[in-house]
Structure 1
Amino acid sequence: MVLAAPLVYLAVVWPQIPDRVPVHFNIHFRPDGFMNRLPGVLLLPMTSILVTVATLIWFNFDPKMAKYEPDTRDQVRNVLRKSMLAVCVLLGSCTVGIVYASWGNLGVIKSTIFYGIPLLFLFLGNYFGKLRPNYTIGIRCPWTLESPEVWNRTHRFAGRILMGISVLLIALKLSGLSAVPISGPCLHCFWDGQRSPSGTPSSPHENCSRRRCERGAENFKPQPHNSQLNPLNAPPARSCQSQPPPEPAP
């Protein structure tokens, strides 16, 4: 039912979805990547279906599960299903957010990212300690797969880390701050500083792609829901090839 919910929603609002929809957003949540309507809105729902089916099929052939008692297998299967359910809910919410973003409303996708991902971490962290060694879900490396004690200690520690990160992210958001806007510009400035000793780009043309995305975001003009026009059409910008670097002075 959770897998079918996004498809039912898309069927209802399909006539109102523009021909092109945003599928990627920059650090300021401005759309900077677009796709046609059909692949753009069906990408996440189809990903949820394929990943869920493939994971459940793989679990039935997991060699680790054959060594456990039926109760243990049922417990791990239950954790796996709940984890996949949480991931599908998040991807379905992102699908709704993409549709609203195509209408010019970015609030849904922002709330999904800022609250949905921390809640997913909180959910997974709560169940990590209940997993048993398997080849389907968890921290699977030679040390954890060969030793149940190492597996349990690793997943209990990882579960506490995930829950701590989720609480921190939600607290930052509720306090009016956000880890993404805070860390993003800092990392970007550090990267620019590493590329150029002076801290500025060495050429006015090397950030052409970034400037083009920013110009496209500034031309973002929301349209009413019943409009058949594409609200995300921006005037074409010149490519980097059309802007040759200036010749050096003699």
Structure 2
Amino acid sequence: MKTQISAFIRREWLQLLLIAFPLLAALAAMPFAADRVPMQWNLQGQVNWYAPKSWGLLILPLTTLLTIALVLFLERRDPSRLRNADGQLTAHGKATRMIRLGITLLLGAVTLVQISASLGHAPDVSRWVVTSVALLFAFMGNLFGKLKPNRYVGIRVPWTLNSEHVWRQTHRVAGRVWSTSSLIVAAMSWLLPLHLIHTRLTLMWLFFLIVVPLFVAWNEARKERLSLIK
């Protein structure tokens, strides 16, 4: 048991650090934070509701912990993550691990934004959150080409899950679309007025993130089905 724990710590030290740092930062900020801390912002960057700092500052770090624990559980059930020969991570396993670390980094960044606001600062929450999410999606898109069919990350629809060829073709296109469109959104989020960021820009971005990959998956599945009929 101790050997397994030691091996896990050596393998996932960066993951553990990314989880621990926001939690420690929240605990350190607790004595200095306002009695009520912001929990949610609207599209204009205004706070929708507050919570007592005694638990409000801990919600995001604990949510991060539970989310990553769930992802780790799903990863352990993924047969494509490890090579049969030596038990080392495959390219797919390395990609899923990097995506997990990226998600942790994003949640940690949002936690630090909340802590900053609770200490009396006024971060531009709307722009920072949009930028952080866009950079995460660009990062994920860059790794899409390495993913194998699985049940917890990627474009997971019946067309892609039922055919490795459709999965591969869809993620090849989706990776380029996600990376390019997300980098554009990250840049434009600091150049456009807020009302345009949360209306036209976001809608166009969602179209590229969702509709384009779904169309590619449907079209590749249709072509594969037609080739079998012939």
What TM-score do you get using the length of structure 2 for normalisation? 0.71
Q: Aligned with 2:117: secondary structure?
A: helix
**Structure 2 letter corresponding to 1:181:** H
Q: Which residue of 2 aligns with 1:6?
A: 22
> 1:18 and 1:115, CA in 2 relative to 1: closer, same or farther beyond 3 A?
same
Contact 1:121–1:165 at 8 Å: present in 2 too? Answer: no
Q: Which residue of 1 aligns with 2:102?
A: 86
Alpha-carbon separation, structure 1, partners of 2:171 and 2:88: 16
1:23-172 equivalences in 2 (<5 Å) = 23-62=39-78, 74-107=90-123, 109-110=125-126, 112-172=128-188
Contact 1:96–1:108 at 8 Å: present in 2 too? Answer: no
Q: Aligned with 1:129: secondary structure?
A: helix
| Deviation, structure 1 residue 102 | 2.2
**Structure 1 letter corresponding to 2:162:** E
> 1:72 and 1:129, CA in 2 relative to 1: closer, same or farther beyond 3 A?
farther
Contact 1:97–1:106 at 8 Å: present in 2 too? Answer: no
Q: Aligned with 1:22: secondary structure?
A: strand
Query: Among 195, 198, 207, which residue is 1:181 paired with?
Result: 195
Gaps of 5+ in 2: 1-16, 201-230
| Deviation, structure 1 residue 72 | 8.7
**Structure 2 letter corresponding to 1:29:** G
Q: Number of aligned pairs? A: 185
> 1:157 and 1:72, CA in 2 relative to 1: closer, same or farther beyond 3 A?
farther
Q: Determine which structure has greater relative contact order: mean sequence separation of CA pairs < 8 Å that are 6+ residues apart, divided by chain length.
A: 1
Alpha-carbon separation, structure 1, partners of 2:47 and 2:140: 29
Alpha-carbon separation, structure 1, partners of 2:131 and 2:81: 34
What TM-score do you get using the length of structure 1 for normalisation? 0.65
Alpha-carbon separation, structure 1, partners of 2:28 and 2:197: 38
**Structure 2 letter corresponding to 1:55:** V
> 1:108 and 1:172, CA in 2 relative to 1: closer, same or farther beyond 3 A?
closer
Contact 2:127–2:189 at 8 Å: present in 1 too? Answer: no
| Deviation, structure 1 residue 52 | 1.0
| Deviation, structure 1 residue 36 | 1.8
- Runs of at least 4 residues off by over 6 Å: 66-72
| Deviation, structure 1 residue 4 | 0.2
| Deviation, structure 1 residue 103 | 3.2
Gaps of 5+ in 1: 187-250
Q: Which residue of 2 aligns with 1:231?
A: none
Alpha-carbon separation, structure 1, partners of 2:105 and 2:199: 30
| Deviation, structure 1 residue 106 | 2.5
RMSD: 2.7
Alpha-carbon separation, structure 1, partners of 2:95 and 2:127: 26
| Deviation, structure 1 residue 20 | 1.1
Contact 2:155–2:171 at 8 Å: present in 1 too? Answer: yes
More helix by share: 2
